[in-house]
C-alpha cells in the first residue's frame, strides 16, 4: 500500500534558496527560462480554451468579455469573485496542511458537503441568537468535515486502506448521504407549504444566521467569508512555519521514519492533519451555506472541493500564496456564471482551470528534470 511519501506536487524546493546555498548557480539564461516557460504554458492553456470555444462555433472574444464582465466588470461582479474565492481558499488551506504532512486528501468535495449538511441541520434546528447559531453552524460544519475525513483516517491507520482511494470513494458516499437527508421530510427536506410542491432541498436558513455582508447591495458587496478564510490562511501559514505543531507536520511529511523516532506519531500528527484538512473543507461548506446558498441540496458542493484542491496545488502548498490563487480561481468561477448569456457552456471554466493547473505544474517539473539531467552528467 502506498504511503504517499511524496507531497502532491512535483518539485519542492530543497530549502530557502538563500545566498548561503548558491548550488544552483545556473547561468542567467537558464534562470530566465522558467518564468518564460510559465508564460508560454499559461498562454498555451488559454489558447487551447479559446480554440475550443471557436471549434464549437462561438467567439472566444465574446467568451473573454463575458468572463471579464462576470468577474471584474463591475463592483458586484468583483464581489462575486471574492465570494467564490472564500470557500476555495478554505479548502486549499486544509489541503496544504494534509500535503505538508505527506498525506494526499482528495475527498474535500465530500467533506465539504457533509460539513454543509451538518451546518444546515444546526442552522435549522438550533434555537438561540443569530450570531451564536452562525458560529455553531461554522464550528459544526468543520467538525462534520473532520469526522467524514476521519473515516478515511481510520481506514488508513487501522486497515492500511490507501487514503487517496478512500477519500475519493467517500465523496460518492457523501453525496448520497446528503441526497438521502434532503429527500426525507423528517431529516432535512423542506417543510411542505400548502399549495406548493417541495423540492429535494432543505429549508432556507433564517436571515439572522447568514454571514454578514459588507458594501452596497447592487454595487460592490462581499460576504465575511473571505475575511475568515484570509485570516485562517495567514494563521495556518504561521502555525506551519513557526509552531512546534507545524514543525512536526513538516517532519512527518518529509521523513516519516525519522519523525517516528523523534516521537512524532503518524497516527496522531498525520491523522490530525487529515482531520484538519477535512475540517477546513467542512468549514468551506458551512461558509457556502451561510454565505450564498442558505440551503442545501443535491450537487451543493459544485466542485468547490476539487477546485480548492487545485488552488493548493497551484499555490505550491503555501497558504498565503493560496490567497491570490483562490481569488483568481474565484474570478474564473464567477466569470463562468456569466457565460450563459453568450450560449457558451460554463463548463469551459472547468477546462480552463484544469489546463491552468497543468500549465503551472509543467514548468517546475520541467526545470527539475533539467536540473537532474545536469546533475547526472556532472556528478556521476
Partner 1 sequence: MIDEASVILASAVRLTVPLAFAACGEYIAERAGTINISVEAMMLGGAFSAVLGATITGSASTGLIFGMVAGLIIGFVHAQFSHRLGVNTYVVGLVLSALILGLTSFLLDSVKLDTNNQVNAVNIPYISDIPLLGPVLFSHRWPVYLLIVLIPFVWWLVQRSRFGLELRAAGENPQSADVTGIDVRKRRRQALLICGLLSGLGGAYLAVGEVGMFNQNMTAGRGFVVIAAVIFGGWTLRGTIAGCLVFGAADAMRLALPALGVQLNAQFLIAAPYLLALLAMMFLAKTHRAPGALGIPFVRGTA
Partner 2 sequence: MVGISKHFGPVCACGDVDLSVAAGEIHGLLGENGAGKSTLMKVLLGLVTPDSGQILLRGKPETISDPLTAAARGIAMVHQHFSLVGRLTVWENIALGDRGRVDREHIRTVVREVGERYGLAVDPDARVEDLSTGERQRVEIVKCLRRDPDVLVLDEPTSVLTLEESRDLFTVLRRVVADEGKAVILISHKLDEIIHATDKVTIMRQGRVVGRRITAETDERALAREMVGRELSKWTAATAVGVMDALIEPGQTEPASGPQLEVAEEPTTADEPSAQEVSTPEGSVAADPSGATPSAAAPTVTEATTGVLLRIKDAHAISPEKIPLLRGLTLELRAGEILGIAGVEGNGQSAVGDLFSSLLPLTSGTVEVDGKTIAAGRPGAMHAAGIGVIPEDRHASGCVLDMSVAENLVLADLGGISKRGLLSRSRLNERARALIEEFEIATPSPDTPMRLLSGGNQQKVVLARELSARPRVLVAAQPTRGLDIGAIEYMTLRLHEAAKSGIAVLLLSTELSEILTLSQRIAVIHRGTIVGEMDRADVDVERLGMMMGGQTA
Smallest gap from residue 177 Cβ to partner 1 (A): 7
Smallest gap from residue 344 Cβ to partner 1 (A): 8
From residue 152, give the alpha-carbon distance in Å to each of 23, 38, 286, 322: 41, 36, 21, 25
Check if the beta carbon of residue 253 is closer than 8 Å to that of residue 99. yes
* From candidates 254, 350, 354, 361, binder to partner 2 by CB under 8 A: 254
Binding of partner 1 at residue 282 (CB under 8 A)?
Answer: no
Check if the beta carbon of residue 249 is closer than 8 Å to that of residue 101. yes
* From candidates 31, 206, 242, 373, binder to partner 2 by CB under 8 A: 242
DSSP per-residue string spanning 303-318: THHHHHHHHHHHTTT-
Near partner 1 in 117-156, by CB under 8 A: 155
Q: Report residue 174 CA to chain centroid gap.
A: 17
Stretch of 17-25, 133-141, 177-185, 258-266 lying at the interface with partner 1 (CB under 8 A): 177-185
Binding of partner 2 at residue 196 (CB under 8 A)?
Answer: no
265 binds, among partner 1, partner 2, none (CB under 5 to 8 A by kind): partner 2
Near partner 1 in 67-106, by CB under 8 A: 104, 106
Binding of partner 1 at residue 179 (CB under 8 A)?
Answer: yes
Smallest gap from residue 269 Cβ to partner 2 (A): 9
For the record, the C-alpha cell of 3 comes out as 504511503
Spatial distance between the Cα atoms of 101 and 334, rounded to a whole number of angstroms:
32
72 binds, among partner 2, partner 1, none (CB under 5 to 8 A by kind): none
244 binds, among partner 2, partner 1, none (CB under 5 to 8 A by kind): partner 2
Binding of partner 1 at residue 355 (CB under 8 A)?
Answer: yes
For the record, the C-alpha cell of 56 comes out as 464549437
Question: What count of other Cβ atoms lies within 10 Å of the Cβ of residue 106?
Answer: 20
Spatial distance between the Cα atoms of 33 and 174, rounded to a whole number of angstroms:
44
| Cα torsion angle, 270, 275, 279, 282, sign | positive
Smallest gap from residue 204 Cβ to partner 2 (A): 41
Residues 6 or more apart whose Cβ sits within 8 Å of residue 287: 86, 87, 90, 138, 141, 211, 223, 225, 228, 229
| Region for residue 133 given its phi and psi (left: phi exceeds 0; alpha: psi -120 to 50; beta: otherwise) | alpha
Binding of partner 1 at residue 7 (CB under 8 A)?
Answer: yes
Element (H, E) at 40: helix 28-55
Smallest gap from residue 56 Cβ to partner 1 (A): 4
Binding of partner 1 at residue 164 (CB under 8 A)?
Answer: yes
Binding of partner 1 at residue 37 (CB under 8 A)?
Answer: no
Q: Report residue 130 CA to chain centroid gap.
A: 28
Binding of partner 2 at residue 14 (CB under 8 A)?
Answer: yes
Spatial distance between the Cα atoms of 348 and 344, rounded to a whole number of angstroms:
8
CA nearest to 357, candidates 95, 175, 63: 95
211 binds, among partner 2, partner 1, none (CB under 5 to 8 A by kind): none
CA nearest to 326, candidates 96, 60, 139: 96
Binding of partner 1 at residue 287 (CB under 8 A)?
Answer: no
234 binds, among partner 2, partner 1, none (CB under 5 to 8 A by kind): none
Binding of partner 1 at residue 365 (CB under 8 A)?
Answer: yes
| Contact residues: partner 1, CB under 8 A | 1-2, 4-11, 52, 56-58, 104, 106, 155, 159-162, 164-166, 168-173, 176-177, 179-180, 183, 303, 306, 309-310, 313, 344-345, 347-351, 353-355, 357-358, 361-362, 365-366, 368-369, 372, 376
| Contact residues: partner 2, CB under 8 A | 12, 14-16, 18, 20-23, 25, 242-245, 247, 250-251, 254-255, 257-266, 268, 377-380
Amino acid at each position: 500500500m502506498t504511503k504517499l511519501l511524496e507531497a502532491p506536487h512535483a518539485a519542492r524546493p530543497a530549502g530557502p534558496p538563500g545566498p548561503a546555498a548558491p548550488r544552483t548557480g545556473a547561468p542567467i539564461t537558464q534562470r530566465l527560462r522558467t518564468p518564460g516557460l510559465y508564460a508560454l504554458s499559461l498562454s498555451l492553456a488559454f489558447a487551447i480554451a479559446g480554440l475550443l470555444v471557436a471549434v464549437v462555433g462561438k467567439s472566444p472574444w465574446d467568451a473573454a468579455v463575458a468572463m471579464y464582465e462576470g468577474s471584474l466588470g463591475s463592483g458586484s461582479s468583483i464581489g462575486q469573485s471574492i465570494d467564490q474565492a472564500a470557500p476555495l481558499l478554505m479548502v486549499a488551506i486544509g489541503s496544504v496542511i494534509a500535503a505538508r504532512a505527506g498525506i494526499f486528501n482528495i475527498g474535500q468535495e465530500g467533506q465539504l458537503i457533509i460539513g454543509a449538511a451538518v451546518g444546515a441541520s444546526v442552522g435549522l434546528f438550533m434555537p438561540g441568537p443569530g450570531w451564536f447559531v452562525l458560529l455553531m453552524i461554522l464550528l459544526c460544519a468543520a467538525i462534520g468535515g473532520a469526522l467524514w475525513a476521519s473515516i478515511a483516517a481510520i481506514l488508513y491507520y487501522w486497515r492500511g486502506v490507501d487514503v487517496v482511494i478512500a477519500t475519493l470513494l467517500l465523496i460518492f458516499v457523501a453525496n448520497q448521504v446528503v441526497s438521502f437527508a434532503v429527500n426525507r421530510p423528517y431529516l432535512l427536506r423542506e417543510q411542505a407549504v400548502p399549495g406548493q410542491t417541495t423540492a429535494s432541498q432543505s429549508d432556507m436558513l433564517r436571515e439572522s444566521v447568514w454571514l454578514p455582508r459588507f458594501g452596497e447591495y447592487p454595487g460592490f458587496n462581499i460576504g465575511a467569508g473571505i475575511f475568515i478564510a484570509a485570516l485562517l490562511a495567514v494563521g495556518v501559514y504561521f502555525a506551519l512555519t513557526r509552531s512546534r505543531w507545524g514543525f512536526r507536520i513538516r517532519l512527518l511529511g518529509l521523513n516519516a521514519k525519522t519523525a517516528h523516532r523523534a516521537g512524532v506519531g503518524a497516527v496522531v500528527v498525520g491523522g490530525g492533519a487529515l482531520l484538519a484538512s477535512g475540517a477546513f473543507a467542512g468549514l468551506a461548506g458551512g461558509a457556502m451555506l451561510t454565505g450564498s446558498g442558505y440551503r442545501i441540496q443535491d450537487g451543493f458542493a459544485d466542485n468547490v472541493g476539487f477546485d480548492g484542491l487545485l488552488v493548493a496545488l497551484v499555490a505550491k502548498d503555501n497558504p498565503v500564496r493560496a490567497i491570490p490563487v483562490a481569488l483568481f480561481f474565484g474570478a474564473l468561477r464567477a466569470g463562468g456564471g456569466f457565460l450563459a448569456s453568450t450560449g457558451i457552456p460554463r463548463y469551459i471554466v472547468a477546462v480552463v482551470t484544469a489546463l491552468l493547473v497543468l500549465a503551472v505544474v509543467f514548468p517546475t517539473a520541467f526545470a527539475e528534470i533539467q536540473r537532474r539531467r545536469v546533475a547526472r552528467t556532472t556528478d556521476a
